[in-house]
Amino acid sequence: MATKIAFLTANEGIEKVELTEPWAAVEDAGFEPVLLAPESGEAQLFDHLDKAGTQAVDKLVAEADVDDYAGLVLPGGVANPDALRTDEDAVSFVKQFVESGKPVAAICHAPWTLVEAGVLSGRTITSWPSLQTDVRNAGGEWKDEEVVTDANLITSRNPDDIPAFTSALLDALGSPS
């Protein structure tokens, strides 16, 4: 079994805690987090609208293979998933990952990428409340809950939900081998 966990972001607009806290949790559980992005270099992190450091991109999403990863995490931030859903390679990777049956965890605005990937029909998720119409228009059911797990999709609403989000993600991943 793969022990790498893909974290997919755009190169800008990532809500810092939605990347760094799940990253630390999977690392502490014995997995190897890997940052994928459309462009090489660094990803600009934010604390709401304020720049909050950067994180090095480990690999281009265009070069990533779903088979190399045990799970996928999609951090939020408004600009991050909005940019990701315009990147063909990112959308294709997300679609393949959901279809693989492996855990896919998306928080806050990140489900926009799930909408774009066309993987929400008949699925129940949560997100930042402003996405609920997009989720419904994509064929999904939206719930206002701390964490919603539907088969391999794990979703949460906002940074306050990170403890429940990471717990559900780690439960779905099991132990690294």
Select from 161, 169, 164, 97 the least CA-distant residue to 129: 161
Name the β-bridge partners of 141. 124
Confirm if 60 and 38 have CB atoms less than 8 A apart: yes
Cα dist from 30 to 27, 98, 116, whole Å: 5, 23, 31
Q: Among residues 109, 112, 119, 155, which one is catalytic?
A: 109
Confirm if 70 and 173 have CB atoms less than 8 A apart: yes
Whether 23 is catalytic: no
Whether 24 is catalytic: no
Q: Among residues 66, 108, 125, 170, which one is catalytic?
A: 108
Positions marked active-site: 108-109
